[in-house]
Amino acid sequence: MALKFILCLIFGYLFGSLNFAIIYSKLKGDDIRNHGSGNAGATNVLRTYGKGAAAVVFLLDILKGVIAVMITRLFFNDMLYNCASALGAVLGHNFPLYYGFKGGKGVATSLAVLLVLHYPTALIALGTFIIVVVTTKYVSLSSILAAVAAMVGAFIFFKADVFSIFCLILGVLCIYRHRSNIKRLISGTENKLGKKRKD
């Protein structure tokens, strides 16, 4: 069991390390990590390259998470191993092996793996994200509260099960990755959606 878990985690990590924000910027002869927040994710792509580029990156990050879990499910149709692959994919996005371990914050990829593993929990997180981002225009705050909503939803549906523990880890990781945003939110210096960050 331990070997299968490790193999799934490694597979997910290697697959998740394909960071499409970085790939897109490299194709333009640039590096997204040299702009704005320095984050290799869809929000920074939006502020740096525009809506079209951000939409492409967001969709590819979603597909990356979905495909990683679906491939694992073909071999191991078990929640433990699927969660291992899912966690690996998110860790790969955040700390990509191929790009010096400096990646994004894993929001889109986290949503993707939740959709495959248990879509009601994913919908709770997505609904929370949409409501908060529409009312506040803060993507970071929306992501953090969506992570909290996913943790709560998972424990409501599954109690202290494999999936709920996975969501707890995913939520803590998301909040940790947004620690600089939390500081800016507290100080009132966090950028709102639609406002282009100055380099």
pLDDT at 37: 79
Residue 134 C-alpha from the chain's centroid: 19
- Residues 45-68 have a mean pLDDT of 92
- pTM of the model as a whole: 0.89
pLDDT per residue as tens digits for the range 27-50: 999 999 999 878 888 889 998 999
**Predicted pLDDT at 38:** 83
Which domain covers residue 33, as residue numbers?
A: 2-187
User: Per the domain annotation, does 27 fall within a domain?
Assistant: yes
Instruction: Note the pLDDT tens digit of each residue in 152-177.
Output: 999 988 877 999 999 999 999 999 99
Residue 198 has a pLDDT of 47
| pLDDT-based confidence at residue 199 (cuts at 50, 70, 90) | very low
Query: What percent of the chain is predicted at pLDDT more than 90?
Result: 79
Kindly state whether residue 157 falls inside one of the protein's structural domains.
yes
Tokens encoding 103: 């990646």
**Per-residue pLDDT band at 196 (split at 50, 70, 90):** low
**Averaged pLDDT for residues 124-143:** 96
Residue 195 lies in a domain: no
In a domain, 179, yes or no: yes
> Which of 154, 150, 141, 142 is CA-nearest to residue 181?
141
Mean pLDDT, all residues of the chain: 92
94 domain-assigned: yes
A 10 A CB-CB count for 52 gives 10
Domain count, the chain: 1
pLDDT category, 195, cuts 50, 70, 90?
low
Q: What is the pLDDT of residues 87-130, one digit of tens each?
A: 999 999 999 999 899 888 999 999 999 999 999 999 999 999 99
